[in-house]
Homo-oligomer: A and B are copies of this chain.
Amino acid sequence: MPITMYDLAGSDSDRRFSPFCWRARMALAHKGLAVETVPWRFTEKDKLPAPNEGRVPVIVDDGKVIHDSSAIAEYLERQYPDRPLLFGGDTARALTRFVQNWTETVLQVGLIRFVVLDIYRHVGPADQEYFRRSREARFGTTLEEVVKDREARLPAFRASLDPLRRTVERQDFVAGAAPGYADYIVFGAFQWARSVSEFELLAADDPIAAWRGRMLDLHGGLARQTRAYGG
């Protein structure tokens, strides 16, 4: 029986834009597991299987419910140890956390200020009010104000990606010659942007754009098949 995964969707249910869901989606594909995704919206908290924290991803595998992208990755590695490894040992797992912490404190924090209005435009009608209210409370200003100067912020944002740039310039993937969970964490952030926004975050000749292309090619082009923009 395939694994079921609850996956954040926009008003178009083929638009899957959660960076955390993309981590899980790519991890499931890495393990070669069959998945049926259920499109889910922010305001459908009561539709998730228990236990959950009102957020996705949540997966159901053979009756077991696992929520939170990190817990899902750990579960998959433990439950399917004979399939391709996501981490490759305890040291790699620990170092992956550094990549995750960089992604969550630098990359995602920078990215949201470019695409938050585009996310708003793509979430379902029932979610728009919730999304605007919760995000405007977080930023302390309107979504329109948050993104207003994004062109001017682009050089600094691109510079903040230097650790990633230098890494994927010198090796095909963050995890080395083959992709690992560290790649899926970073890629989730770019796929989040790409799925809702036409804004060009990366210069065409940026080594990170080439890496993103390699990520989009993985697992039969899985991440290209979702509704998204260019790149």
Contact = CB atoms under 8 A, between A and B. Distances in A.
Contact of A98 (B87, B90, B163, B177): B163
Nearest to A159: B105
B166 A101 contact: yes
**Residue from A101, A170, A173, A174 whose CB has the most chain B CB atoms within 10 Å:** A101
Interface in A160-184: 162-164, 166-167, 170-171, 173-177, 180, 182
A34 interface: no
A49 to B, nearest CB: 28
Contacts of A92: 88-89, 91-92, 95
B176 A101 contact: no
Given A91-B89, A96-B95, A180-B91, A105 B175 contact: no
Interface residues of A, number: 33
A176 B106 contact: no
Contacts of A164: 98, 101
A97 interface: yes
Chain A interface main SS type = helix
A97 B180 contact: no
Given A175-B95, A182-B95, A163 B88 contact: no
A98 B167 contact: yes
A170 to B, nearest CB: 7
A99 interface: yes
Contact of A173 (B94, B96, B101, B182): B94
Given A87-B91, A91-B92, A92-B91, A98 B162 contact: no
A167 B101 contact: yes
